[in-house]
Structure 1
Amino acid sequence: MIAAVGRTLPGIVVLCLGALAARRFSTLAGVSELLLAIGLGVALANTVGVPERVRAGVGTHDVWLAAGIVLLGGSLTLGSVLETGNSVLLLLVTAVTVTVLLVEAIARNVAGLTERLGSLLAAGAGICGVSAVVAVGGAIRAKETQIAYAAAVILLVDAVTIVVYPIVGSVLGLSGIAFGVWTGVSMLSTGPVVAVGFAHSEVAGQWATVTKLARNVLIGAVALGYASYYARRGSGGQTSLRMLWANFPKFVLGFLAFVGLASAGVFSPGQRASMANAVDWLFLLAFVGLGTEIRIEDIRRTGFAPALVVFGVVSVVSALSLAVALAVF
């Protein structure tokens, strides 16, 4: 035990310092703290490299990711789905389905990306950003470099939409409900959705939050679906319960358990706020470590196709969902 702590502690300290730096400088730089955390990891890996002494601790980033996703379930309730109404749910499910299928199709058949990278991009763009990338990444046993690159692409899109959506909402004079539903349905990550929604108005913020949380609930089903698909592919077309269990990310069960507890009203507002704060810090720790898995040479070999695929599909789905929001709300 002492030896294990001694091996991992220096690297964990590096992750903590990176997380603190990302939180501290994100406001000054006007950049997402998660994007900055990955950037710090990338800078470390591609300049001085990751020293052997800290490698074991830095490699614990998957543990912090899993813990963050489990606690993320405490901010969701099954009731949030029902509160959105049938019309919003129909738009939401349609947008998610179209996004996932389009990204998968273009990534594989046009951009020539690997199946797993395409699936990570599809889940991230369709469901809930980086959290979906991480959950599906565990389900399909994607490489750390694929998870890190997909997460970076998603966060890049987040950075762009944070700027673009408020401008479009202002130019078109969108109502609070229309703007909130549009952002909740088509933007990627929860944080930017909530921030952009409430920046528009109180009503927009409420609708954006509820719509986005309803969309986030799909993360468990999508992860299970991908786990089943890739398990079947890996076993010659035959899927056994043992194979599914071996491929299934166990932390998703913890996530679903916390959703159930939150739905039952077990957590007080203070506890939920504390869990949300813990999720932020756990993700910061994790993304500093994930950033160290990104090598510039690997990205150069992969090319810019993944980012172009996500930008293209998100633009199409965003335009369509905006048209529906304007017509219905």
Structure 2
Amino acid sequence: MAVRRLLPGLFALCLGALVARTLATALGVNHLLFAIALGVLAANAVGIPARLEAGIATHNLWLGAGIVLMGASISVETVLEVGAPVLVLLLAAVGGSLVAVELLARNVFGLPDRLGSLLAAGASICGVSAVVGVAGAIRAREEQIAYAAGTVLLFDAITIVVYPFLGDLLGLSGTVFGIWAGISMFSTGPVVAVGFAHSDLAGQWATVTKLSRNALIGVVVLVYASYYARSQGSGRPSARTLWDEFPKFVLGFLALAFVASVGVLSSAQQASIENAYHWLFMLAFVGLGTEIRLADLRNTGMTPALVVLLALIATSSLSLAVLLVLF
């Protein structure tokens, strides 16, 4: 019965992916970004019927599956060669963004502490997923969660358009653009989309970098939970939070990357896997587009958006400057 409830929405995702791929090829535009645009158009111009919502909501599952399969295309040797500098830059960017948003929200714009923490987590780690994870740990109010999630989605929509434009304008290489997007953009879906819109190399680097950021969510949730628990005199949260919040598909990605690196997969098998994850991304991005509701974005408060904008500009500019020096 549960599977039958998902079928209409799954069919809509498949149809949307086929239409997006066909039209994007005919128009000569990037098919992944076109898939997002098609989802946005469907949600805002027509609306999503209730019977389709459950199936369309599975788009995060297809994104995770696509990322796992993408592990077969990753060159582990290349990642290890430049991994240390990128990791240092990544940790600096995450920490800097987290602190910057907290300071701006609390000390400059006077936002409530918990709202500032939700904005900081969303901007520094993994978008709405981080907002939701931290919200549960710090017992944030529903309106604070809505403001923070809406702000993140607003910048997801903006960066999907702006980053490819800046990448072309600045003539960034695939490696630089991919790492830059993975370090400074917010949510996983938009990062993967703009990365592959630039090139396959950029898409791979964007995904690897973003997964590294995502893996920090458990630590961030634990830190916030500990801080707010102590401020209220509550007990210390369990370290199990680390595992509960850890994005499990990262493990599948690493496992398949290892299998590919030891030469188990033939070139034909790798080509088939590459084709499969591109189609999974198409399904995911059609669904992702339906999550961008223009009416909801208009309701986002100006002050939270300004806080995040200032932090994004700083993180994006500084990380790009360092990457251009490194590569």
Report the TM-score, using the length of structure 1 for normalisation: 0.68
Cα distance in 2 for partners of 1:84, 1:301 equals: 42
Q: 1:137 to 1:284 in 2, by over 3 A?
A: farther
Give unmatched runs, 5+ long, in structure 1.
124-131, 170-175, 199-204
Name the amino acid aligned to 2:295. E
Deviations 1:232-288 (A, max 9, x none): 579755232555444444333333333443444444444344333333322332333
Determine helix, strand or coil for the equivalent of 2:299.
helix
Retained in 2: the 8 A contact 1:80–1:214?
A: no
The answer as to 2:23 corresponding to 1:25 is yes
Retained in 2: the 8 A contact 1:182–1:325?
A: yes
Query: Which deviates the most, 18-27 or 112-121?
Result: 112-121
Equivalent position of 1:276 in the other structure:
274
Q: 1:303 to 1:75 in 2, by over 3 A?
A: farther
Query: Which deviates the most, 61-70 or 182-191?
Result: 182-191
- How many residues are aligned here? 303
- Tell me which of 157, 162, 175 is aligned to 2:164: 162
Deviation at 1:301, TM superposition (A): 1.9
Deviation at 1:98, TM superposition (A): 3.2
Identity %: 42
Equivalent position of 1:8 in the other structure:
6
Determine helix, strand or coil for the equivalent of 2:215.
helix
Determine helix, strand or coil for the equivalent of 1:302.
coil
Retained in 2: the 8 A contact 1:139–1:249?
A: no
Deviations 1:141-179 (A, max 9, x none): 88899778746633531432222233334xxxxxx8xx5
The answer as to 2:301 corresponding to 1:288 is no
Deviation at 1:13, TM superposition (A): 0.9
Determine helix, strand or coil for the equivalent of 2:237.
coil
Determine helix, strand or coil for the equivalent of 2:43.
helix
Give unmatched runs, 5+ long, in structure 2.
137-144, 183-190
Coordinate RMSD, CA, aligned: 4.3
Cα distance in 2 for partners of 1:272, 1:135 equals: 30
Q: 1:253 to 1:109 in 2, by over 3 A?
A: farther
Query: Which deviates the most, 5-14 or 221-230?
Result: 221-230
Q: What does 1:1-329 correspond to in 2, within 5 Å?
A: 3-26=1-24, 33-76=31-74, 78-84=76-82, 90-91=88-89, 93-103=91-101, 105-106=103-104, 112=111, 115-123=117-125, 132-133=126-127, 136=130, 150=152, 153-154=155-156, 156-169=158-171, 182-188=176-182, 189-190=191-192, 192-193=194-195, 196=198, 212=206, 215-216=209-210, 218-219=212-213, 221-229=215-223, 232=226, 236=234, 238-303=236-301, 312-324=310-322
Report the TM-score, using the length of structure 2 for normalisation: 0.68
